[in-house]
């Protein structure tokens, strides 16, 4: 029994839209590293935007409109009009722009927004980007290069701020159940209570292996390397040690997001224009979108299924047709739960695929090949843009050591967050 969402069918875009350029800064703890300490929002967004425009082979003059995204601009940056705070940084002074914020789903909605602007016919070339500094937070009244730690207490207050204050926050249950209520049901439906720690530790090890090979990742060491550092036998020993305690009922510290700073941007335009200007554009076939407020039990499951049904019915493609799946796994179990809900993995077998490393970047059903939110890092509103970056680069065959084994022609990107938005996009390589 559960909440069944019935939405009107998703309609085809008025004109097809493709990504022609993409850019991303590394995910960083900027204030902890002398090389990056003092970096701030305008320049990070600017670097990502400039890289995306260069990647597309265009200049700022060619862009008609830009969209700025950030999860919680008041919390991180102490600003109320964030699109204006980056406005002078990438050559588009005077152009129209707007801002949106859907917490951890922001970067996924960023694509939906950009696609809508172009598909409507209002603009031909739109830049959509995000910058989040969740770790190195601004002061309210000091220059932006001066930062302070966005510590756990501040972050907990921020998490509470995504719960509606009419009734949900006062339930005292929403935050506590949120990350594990779907997993709890799945564990007991599949009778894997005695196996789930093994599954999640394998998943953490494999995801970290991908993250350590990715130059944009926050983490550059594997769990095997960490085990050596702590004089332990191997990664499994480390992952079950006191250095990786349970924070939830099933999830350990290594199964939760790692907060960080970073930016990303992409350029979209009509597909017919994209085909003329580049041979490696990526078409967006559509984006399903369902939102459930956080008082709904297992909302991640129901809204994921709904967003997936929308895009499946629109395109006629299923998860089984995909070559890559991205999940926005800020609690790591989402990798196999979401992949199963979207039929990328067989029903009730997602945990087995994860346990057998078949969902690793070098497995036969790769999921979250950048390492994901728990190992690659989570710069909240920007993470979705980095997932799209990963998909575009995988489709181009440019991911080097983490390039998946077979050609990536189709990818599904499940976005999640914002208390809570769930999106499901299907992307297709035009190469």
Partner 1 sequence: MEKKDIKHIVKTFYNALEEGKILGRKCTKCGHVEFPPYLACNICGNLDTEWHEMSGKAVAMQIMAPSFGFSDKSFRDRVGDYCVGSVKPEESGELVTCFIGVSPGRVDELRGKIPFPVRPIIIQEDGYKMVFWELDE
Binding residues vs partner 1 (CB under 8 A): 1-3, 166-168, 170-181, 184-185, 188, 245-249, 256, 294-298
- The answer to whether 327 touches 339, Cβ cutoff 8 Å, is yes
Q: Which helix (H) or strand (E) holds 132?
A: strand 126-133
User: Edge-to-edge strands of the sheet including 126-133?
Assistant: 96-100, 65-69, 126-133, 261-270, 17-24, 282-291, 421-429, 410-417, 324-326
> Which residue's CB is nearer to partner 1, number 99 or number 331?
331
> Which residue's CB is nearer to partner 1, number 174 or number 311?
174
CB of 253 to partner 1, least distance (A): 8
DSSP state of 253: G
Instruction: Of 323, 328, 339, give the one whose Cα is nearest residue 427.
Output: 323
CB of 175 to partner 1, least distance (A): 5
> Which residue's CB is nearer to partner 1, number 189 or number 279?
189
> Which residue's CB is nearer to partner 1, number 147 or number 298?
298
Q: What's the alpha-carbon Rg for the chain, to the nearest Å?
A: 20
Return left, alpha or beta for 90; rule: phi > 0 is left, psi -120 to 50 is alpha, else beta. Answer: alpha
CB of 39 to partner 1, least distance (A): 30
> Which residue's CB is nearer to partner 1, number 159 or number 320?
159
> Which residue's CB is nearer to partner 1, number 174 or number 399?
174
CB of 242 to partner 1, least distance (A): 13
CB of 152 to partner 1, least distance (A): 10
- The answer to whether 70 touches 130, Cβ cutoff 8 Å, is yes
> Which residue's CB is nearer to partner 1, number 209 or number 380?
380
CB of 252 to partner 1, least distance (A): 10
Taking the C-alpha atoms of residue 45 and residue 133, their distance in angstroms, rounded to an integer, is: 11
CB of 181 to partner 1, least distance (A): 7
Instruction: Of 195, 297, 300, give the one whose Cα is nearest residue 250.
Output: 195
């Amino acid at each position: 029994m559960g909440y069944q969402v019935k939405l009107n069918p998703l309609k085809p875009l008025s004109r097809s839209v493709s990504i022609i350029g993409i850019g991303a800064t590394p995910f960083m703890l900027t204030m902890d590293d002398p090389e990056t300490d003092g970096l701030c929002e305008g320049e990070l967004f600017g670097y990502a935007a400039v890289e995306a425009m260069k990647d597309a082979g265009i200049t700022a003059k060619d862009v008609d409109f830009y969209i700025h995204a950030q999860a919680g601009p008041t919390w991180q940056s102490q600003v109320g009009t964030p699109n204006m705070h980056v406005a002078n940084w990438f050559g588009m002074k005077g152009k129209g722009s707007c801002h949106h914020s859907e917490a951890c789903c922001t970067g996924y909605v960023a694509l939906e927004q950009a696609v809508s602007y172009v598909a409507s016919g209002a603009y031909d070339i739109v830049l959509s980007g995000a910058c989040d500094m969740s770790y190195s937070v601004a002061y309210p009244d000091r220059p932006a290069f001066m930062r302070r730690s966005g510590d756990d207490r501040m972050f907990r207050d921020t998490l509470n701020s995504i719960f509606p204050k009419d009734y949900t926050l006062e339930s005292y249950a929403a935050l506590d159940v949120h990350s594990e209520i779907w997993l709890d049901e799945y564990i007991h439906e599949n009778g894997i209570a005695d196996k789930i720690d093994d599954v999640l530790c394998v998943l953490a090890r494999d995801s970290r292996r991908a993250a350590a090979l990715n130059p944009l990742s926050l983490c550059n060491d594997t769990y095997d390397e960490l085990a050596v550092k702590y004089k332990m036998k191997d990664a499994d020993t480390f992952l079950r040690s006191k250095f990786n305690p349970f924070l939830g009922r099933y999830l350990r510290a290594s199964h939760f997001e790692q907060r960080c700073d970073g930016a990303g941007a992409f350029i979209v335009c009509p597909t017919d224009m994209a085909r003329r200007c580049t041979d490696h554009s990526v078409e967006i076939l559509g984006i399903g979108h369902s939102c459930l407020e956080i008082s709904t039990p297992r909302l991640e499951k129901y809204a994921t299924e709904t967003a997936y049904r929308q895009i499946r019915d629109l395109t006629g493609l299923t998860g089984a047709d995909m070559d890559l799946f991205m999940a926005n796994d800020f609690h790591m179990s989402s990798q196999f739960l979401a992949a199963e809900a979207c039929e990328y993995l067989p029903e009730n077998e997602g945990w087995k695929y994860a346990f057998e490393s078949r969902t690793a970047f070098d497995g036969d059903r790769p999921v979250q090949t950048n390492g994901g939110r728990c190992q690659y890092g989570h710069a909240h509103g920007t993470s979705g843009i980095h997932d799209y970056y990963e998909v575009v680069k995988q489709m181009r065959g440019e991911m080097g050591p983490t390039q998946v084994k077979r050609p990536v022609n189709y990818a599904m990107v499940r976005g999640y967050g914002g208390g809570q938005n769930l999106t499901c996009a299907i992307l297709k390589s035009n190469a």
